[in-house]
Structure 1
Amino acid sequence: MVKDSARKKAIRERMAHTGKSYTDAAREMDQQAADRSQPQAVTFDWFSSQARHVVDLAREHARSRRHSALGTEHLLLGLLDDGAGGLAFEILDDLAGSVEAVESAIATAVPQGATRAPQEVPFSDHAAFVLAKGARRQADKTGHGYVGSEHILLALLSVHDCRACQILTSLGIAYNPVKTEVVVRLNAMGVLSRYHNPR
């Protein structure tokens, strides 16, 4: 009974974030859960050099915080570097009021680890899903032939039970407004998107 009510709550939250019907939100949530239950092979063939740099920075953050796995919160930290985060950095800075607000929320939600991190920090299940499938799906949805930092951000926001999404949601940052910002800003730079008029 508790599990059922928790599921209904999660579906309603997804509806609020995405604007989808109850049935579509439930189907999408079940599909993501099924996808995450499969081992994810992470490759970076479609990633821009900037997006790869975000992942490298995420590894450094996981190690420096002595965490045993690279999670979505570390990917979010990688996006907060203006040299790597690019468009995602600009959008987070604008929507959160400052990147410092996001960094502070991460520090509160994710304490420093107690033990030394392994030299090769593995991806958490959520982070592996975001990098192996989620970011590429976001690039496909917008019609872009590469994975950029903005697609990593959208992928983080589409996985509602991951730590990064929960942190961003607590700051009032949701998927649809970010998608709109991504498309509008890329269109302004001459990068055509599948959604030419997202508003």
Structure 2
Amino acid sequence: MQIIALLKTFIYLIASSLFLPVLLILSCLFVWMLVYSGTFFRTWLERRRIKTLPDKLPEKIISGSYRNHLPLCVVRVVKILETLNGSDDQVLIVNLLRDTEHRMWKSLDMLKMMIRIGPGLGLIGTLIPMGTGLASLGQGDLSRLSQDLVVAFTTTVVGMALGLLAYFYFTVQRRWVEQDIKNMELAAELLAGRDQP
């Protein structure tokens, strides 16, 4: 019986020691999400200014007047593609496209993690004070129970809000990345075809 009591105490100490780091990490992630929201809306405004002409985009790329019709990240790649000419540069073109595509997808990794981490931390931050709150209920301390319940439910709200925002931003940006990759591949094919006799 002493071993079971020792294990219970050990697990309780582990759970209690996790509570402060969970609150700290949730607070830091919330601040990060606020900063990221500003970055997201800046990118959204930049993309709103782009004049979309999907049917005339190949002509714009070939003529070199694509700057107002493509996002800045794609414009940079197209400028590099314009400097690479001939069949000797095919490997360089493919490598440039793959590296850029990899960087674009990698930029979404933090959002993908936040979709899972936010709600997970919120759940951990809920269950730890619920345990101490229920213990205080058994002792008749209702004020301690109410304090623990407030902390428990607010961590749930913060964790779920982080997950929902991250999912929204990830979904929108995934569509942007797919569109940008398509436009870069189109530019590479058009510019490579233009240089061949």
Q: TM-score range by the shorter chain?
A: under 0.3
The structure that has the greater radius of gyration is 2
TM-score normalised by L of structure 1: 0.23
Larger relative contact order (Cα-Cα within 8 Å, sequence gap ≥ 6): 2
TM-score normalised by L of structure 2: 0.23
* Larger relative helix fraction: 2
